[in-house]
Structure 1
Amino acid sequence: MAATGGTASGTQSVERALSLLSYFTDEQPERRIAELVELSGLGQSTVSRLVAALESLGYLVRDERSGLHRIGPKVVELAGVALNQSAVHRAGRQVAQNLAHELGLGANVAERHGDRMFYLCHFEGPLAPRTFTLTGRSAPLHATAMGKALLSGLAEDEVRDVMGPDYPAYTRKTITGLAGLLDALAETRARGYATEVEELAFGRACLAAPVRDRSGAVVAALSVSGSLSAMDLAARQDTLAARTVEYADQISTGLGFLAHAHPAAL
């Protein structure tokens, strides 16, 4: 019984420690102990002990001058291990980099986790510079071209199960209901790519194509993105679509997809 209690206590400590890491975000990359106490609802001594353990293991680092904590190098190391074990990341990384270089736009590879998309890699082109990486971030499926490309491989009932009937609006152009989303997915399947124009953020546009694995299932998406002026979809949509679809097919081939073996996927 004592061993069982010890195991339960140890599991609880692990859960609490990991929950503290989740409070470090792009919006709040640094935290004080007092903030973590307030956010977690745990006692001061418990949080201090857990933070000290996370520091000693390299999961958190402390700025000696400010006293603020931030994510440590061990998290980056583990993230690198996870990415390097991803077949999609291995097949897509160089392809996305080549696409960004050719078009001068941002190029991204993402996969679906539940009702969110998760960026596996991100490259900037000179026409779409960023001061931060999207790798590791998540975004809503219904408001992004990549999300629509990822959902395009699902049947209507599967889309309903994953997404539900209603979704939050990020701009006035965001799709907020199942009917509108299903229409967008039908269009995506018909032309082989999805578009997004100010549906997630003002002044931004994106075009994405699905990526398939050996079985023909949609397992990822490749996109090009940038400002409205850089993308210039009114004049360049056909060109951008052709290149993105071609590069997405390269990733699919790297994952073992054979188009002639899955004609229904074309």
Structure 2
Amino acid sequence: MSAPESSRARGVDRVVGIFKQLHIARRPMTMRELIEATGAPRSSIYELVAILTEVGWLETASDGSVFFGREMHYYGSDYATHNDLISRAHQSILALVKRYDETTQLCMLEGNKYTVVLSENSARPFNISSDIGVKVPIPWTASGRLLLGHLSADEIRSLIPGEDFVLDNGVRVELDEFVRDVKLASERGYCCTEGLSNAFRLCMAAPIRDRTGLPVAALCFMTGRDTDPQRRAAMLEDLIQSAKALSQPYRLP
């Protein structure tokens, strides 16, 4: 790679780094915070922020803090419109939230992690939710157990880092136990977990499958562990049927 090409590549990496840090923070960041978080030279960050602000990818507030600009919203809207699954899933999620007033999400795998792609919270004062785009260890989730159903035990072991089997409360999920959970979820066509990543959380998940039958996403309810059993059963059945409807042939980018 020539020197100019190497310099341009570093510039792209730094732009990606700025976007990632803003997404992680989920709030405007000062220039000092961006420089410290990215580890890039001060002059480079100032120059890139100026360029990205000029084209509308970033916006700078009166106090000098930086956040995503309006243009980024347009690009995200374009993606959601083009991706048929995302578009249809959003309508299903809105309908489920309206019926049950429970936080509902669309979840997918991103590499060896799990992430929330869409989320609509309940209107109740107390609700349980996860932030969109934040990467979470797969063993912490019901969705992760569903989305690995096509993998062997060896493939699961190779995919998931060992440290990801330790929950945030310090409890370790044993690999053999996790593999059994994955197999059971695949056989049942749904997965429910209680108290994994949150002591009070009940998560219900149902798989959305592609044309070949592989699970590519999961539709999820996030609710409390004290949810009435009859209500649980009704929610789970509706969730499964909604996920099956979304599993009809769809268009991906």
Change (3 A) 1:198 1:133: closer
Match of 2:244 in 1: 249
Normalised by the length of structure 2, the TM-score is 0.86
User: Cα distance, 1:196 vs. partner?
Assistant: 2.0
Whether 1:240 and 2:238 are equivalent positions in the alignment is no
Number of matched pairs: 250
Structure 1: how far apart are the matches of 2:144 and 2:128?
Answer: 23
Aligned counterpart in structure 2 of residue 187 of structure 1, from 179, 184, 189: 184
Match of 2:47 in 1: 49
Structure 2: how far apart are the matches of 1:202 and 1:87?
Answer: 35
Q: Report which stretch shifted further, 216-225 or 124-133.
A: 124-133
Structure 2: how far apart are the matches of 1:222 and 1:153?
Answer: 18
RMSD: 2.6
Normalised by the length of structure 1, the TM-score is 0.82
- 1:102-117 alignment, distance < 5 Å: 102-117=99-114
Structure 2: how far apart are the matches of 1:175 and 1:221?
Answer: 24
Structure 2: how far apart are the matches of 1:147 and 1:135?
Answer: 16
Match of 2:83 in 1: 86
Change (3 A) 1:112 1:192: same
- 1:164-203 alignment, distance < 5 Å: 164-166=161-163, 167-171=165-169, 176-203=173-200
Whether 1:124 and 2:121 are equivalent positions in the alignment is yes
Structure 1: how far apart are the matches of 2:25 and 2:122?
Answer: 24
Aligned counterpart in structure 1 of residue 28 of structure 2, from 12, 27, 30: 30
- 1:128-143 alignment, distance < 5 Å: 134-143=131-140
Structure 1: how far apart are the matches of 2:246 and 2:6?
Answer: 44
Structure 2: gaps of 5 or more residues: none
User: Cα distance, 1:142 vs. partner?
Assistant: 0.9
Match of 1:16 in 2: 14
Structure 2: how far apart are the matches of 1:113 and 1:142?
Answer: 14
**Paired residues of 2:27 and 2:67 also in contact (CA < 8 A):** yes
**Paired residues of 1:91 and 1:255 also in contact (CA < 8 A):** no
